[in-house]
Amino acid sequence: MSDRYILAIDQGTTSTRCILFDRRATVVAVARAEHPQSYPRPGWVEHDAARIWRDTQRLITRAMRSAGIGADQVAAIGIANQRETAVVWDRATGVPVAPAIVWQDTRTSSLVSALDPALISERTGLQPATYFSATKVRWLLDHIPGLRARAEKGEVLFGTMDSWLIWNLTGGREHLTDVTNASRTMLMDLSTLSWDPALLDVCTIPQAMLPSIRSSSEVYGAASSVLPGVPIAAAMGDQQAALFGQTCFAAGDAKCTYGTGGFLLMNTGSTPVRSTHGLLTTVGYRIGSEPVAYALEGSIAVAGSLVQWVRDGLGLIGTASEIETLAGTVADNGGCYIVPAFSGLFAPHWRSEARGVIVGLTSYITKGHLARAVLEATGWQTREVVDAMNADSGLALTGLNVDGGMTADNMLMQIVADVLSVPVVRPMVAETVSLGAAYAAGLAVGYWSDLQDLRNNRHSAGRWDPGMDGERRAAEYRRWQRAVQSAVYFSDDQGQT
């Protein structure tokens, strides 16, 4: 009997990846391709959805060839995708009517400022922002002549990248999205898990163009052209997929992905937790007809990008990894703190006018101290988000599962463990986003039997235990908080002049 595998498609912001996993959750084959980012005007970010679909087909074929397997050996396909990015396409021809508007695109900021934050937050758990799909769809309907009339007749369809790929994979038979992706459109009612008529009305989006909302793990249909007959059995937003891939299945389990920024998600169980600290309430995942697992999400705006700034803006290091080498030349931060509020302070402060500061400078401070303050800034920002989550959820974080490029920084991981005072664990499979999609798909077709079966696959590749003395932690946190206040104070002063 030949072995069977799960194919995960990770359709990300800069690249698409196809990964084959075996039953032990080991990576058997990887195929990856970057796609161009288009910036036609200031604030605009677009993707060519047709190109992404072509890439996906090519990558599937390449992954299959590199593993030396046939379609009959693929038990299911799971999809994880960049969230919120909006595609509108012609139902009859399958051709996108415009470039996809990417989550980072800010062209709809005036539409967003007209929204009622209380209504949005109450219905969707989100704070109105240009990230979410709703205003992007509205923009297309407003700006492409005749599009709204066609949308009302159901001649054009909207979807996030999961919908777009599933529609194409099934040869145009299935127009659907999963509940995690739907929760990021700013159009879904978080408690009924269906499109909210009031929000559709506010955003003037016709119901006829919307995909149906399904769970994250169920057989949606079979693939037609590539891998004909193979069930498509999962879809999830990428951060939720990472939560699932990190096997954060119990309330209180959390993961943080450290890249240019950081995304921290905590599973809060089957009832949505409303944040009073400016965190987002979102859907973690839903398996078949089981109750939804909700999550709180907080982001760290500046993490790896601060290191990049030290490299490119200050020229203190040649590669990002050297920040650790530089930080290792000193024993502590020497009293220096960096608050990287490059574009304001995010959760839990929400002070968009704040600007970054470096405080505590004396003639004693060297670039080594600055490097250490850079790494500590990511640690303390994580601490602030975790504190807000603990307060909102009434749960206490007992450990943090980490992934992303910055987990290669040993000192940073130790700092995170120290400032959170909980163990930080790096899993053996670094591709947690793809793994989450694979897990959800494998569950739906019985490739894996249950969540415990998935947990058994989980192995730690590394673990950092907190080693900082409690008094010192508290004192350092107080100084960090004062540094944050000075970032706000400085901006206030600027406002007066």
39 is in an annotated binding site: no
- Told to check if 361 binds another protein by CB under 8 A, we report no
**At residue 47, what are phi and psi to the nearest 5 degrees?**
-125, 150
217 is in an annotated binding site: no
Q: How far is the CB of 183 from another protein (least distance, A)?
A: 31
Instruction: Report the residue from 153, 463, 472, 478 that binds another protein according to the rule CB under 8 A.
Output: 463
Instruction: Report the residue from 460, 469, 478, 492 that binds another protein according to the rule CB under 8 A.
Output: 460
- Told to check if 329 binds another protein by CB under 8 A, we report no
Asked if residues 267 and 274 have their Cβ atoms less than 8 Å apart, the reply is no
Instruction: Report the residue from 143, 274, 459, 478 that binds another protein according to the rule CB under 8 A.
Output: 459
- Told to check if 50 binds another protein by CB under 8 A, we report no
379 is in an annotated binding site: no
- Told to check if 453 binds another protein by CB under 8 A, we report no
Nearer CB in complex with another protein: 377/388: 377
14 is in an annotated binding site: yes
- Told to check if 155 binds another protein by CB under 8 A, we report no
Instruction: Report the residue from 265, 341, 429, 488 that binds another protein according to the rule CB under 8 A.
Output: 429
- Told to check if 143 binds another protein by CB under 8 A, we report no
- Told to check if 6 binds another protein by CB under 8 A, we report no
405 is in an annotated binding site: yes
Q: How far is the CB of 56 from another protein (least distance, A)?
A: 22
- Told to check if 315 binds another protein by CB under 8 A, we report no
- Told to check if 149 binds another protein by CB under 8 A, we report no
Instruction: Report the residue from 144, 208, 408, 468 that binds another protein according to the rule CB under 8 A.
Output: 408
- Told to check if 314 binds another protein by CB under 8 A, we report no
- Told to check if 318 binds another protein by CB under 8 A, we report yes
What string of H, E and C letters represents the secondary structure of the chain?
CCCCEEEEEEECCCEEEEEEECCCCCEEEEEEEECCCECCCCCCCEECHHHHHHHHHHHHHHHHHHHCCCHHHEEEEEEEECCCCEEEEECCCCCECCCEECCCCCCCHHHHHCCCHHHHHHHHCCCCCCCCHHHHHHHHHHHCCCHHHHHHCCCEEEECHHHHHHHHHCCCCCCEEEHHHHCCCCCECCCCCCECHHHHHHCCCCHHHCCEEECCEEEEEECCCCCCCCEEEEEEEHHHHHHHHCCCCCCCCEEEEECCCEEEEEEEECCCCCCCCCCEEEEEECECCCCCEEEEEEEECCCHHHHHHHHHHCCCCCCCCHHHHHHCCCCCCCCCEEECCECEECCCCCECCCCCEEECCCCCCCHHHHHHHHHHHHHHHHHHHHHHHHHHHCCCCCCEEEECHHHHCHHHHHHHHHHHCCCEEEECCCCHHHHHHHHHHHHHCCCCCCHHHHHHCCCEEEEECCCCCHHHHHHHHHHHHHHHHHHHHHHHHHHHC
From the list 114-122, 252-260, 321-329, 364-372, the region that binds another protein by CB under 8 A is 321-329
Q: How far is the CB of 352 from another protein (least distance, A)?
A: 33
16 is in an annotated binding site: no
Spacing of C-alpha 344 from chain mean position:
20
11 is in an annotated binding site: no
Instruction: Report the residue from 4, 15, 23, 27 that binds another protein according to the rule CB under 8 A.
Output: 27
Q: How far is the CB of 64 from another protein (least distance, A)?
A: 20
From the list 74-82, 91-99, 422-430, 471-479, the region that binds another protein by CB under 8 A is 422-430
Burial of residue 42, with CB atoms counted within 10 A of its CB: 0-12 exposed, 13-18 middle, 19 or more buried: exposed
Asked if residues 6 and 447 have their Cβ atoms less than 8 Å apart, the reply is yes
- Told to check if 462 binds another protein by CB under 8 A, we report yes
Asked if residues 9 and 78 have their Cβ atoms less than 8 Å apart, the reply is yes
24 is in an annotated binding site: no
Asked if residues 99 and 46 have their Cβ atoms less than 8 Å apart, the reply is yes
- Told to check if 430 binds another protein by CB under 8 A, we report yes
- Told to check if 352 binds another protein by CB under 8 A, we report no
Instruction: Report the residue from 322, 332, 387, 453 that binds another protein according to the rule CB under 8 A.
Output: 322
Nearer CB in complex with another protein: 300/406: 406
- Told to check if 446 binds another protein by CB under 8 A, we report no
Binding pattern to another protein, positions 366-405, x when CB under 8 A? ---------------------------------------x
Nearer CB in complex with another protein: 155/322: 322
From the list 1-9, 67-75, 159-167, 458-466, the region that binds another protein by CB under 8 A is 458-466
Q: How far is the CB of 321 from another protein (least distance, A)?
A: 4
Q: ∠ CA(345), CA(348), CA(351), 5° rounding?
A: 35
Nearer CB in complex with another protein: 292/326: 326
84 is in an annotated binding site: yes
User: Measured between alpha carbons, how far is residue 195 from residues 191, 200, 212, 213 in Å?
Assistant: 11, 8, 9, 8
Question: Which residue type, as a one-letter code, is found at position 15?
Answer: S
Q: How far is the CB of 429 from another protein (least distance, A)?
A: 8
Residues contributing to the site for another protein (CB under 8 A): 26-27, 318-325, 405, 408-410, 428-430, 459-465
Which residues fall in the annotated binding site for ATP?
A: 13-15, 260, 304, 308, 405
Which residues fall in the annotated binding site for glycerol?
A: 83-84, 131, 238-239
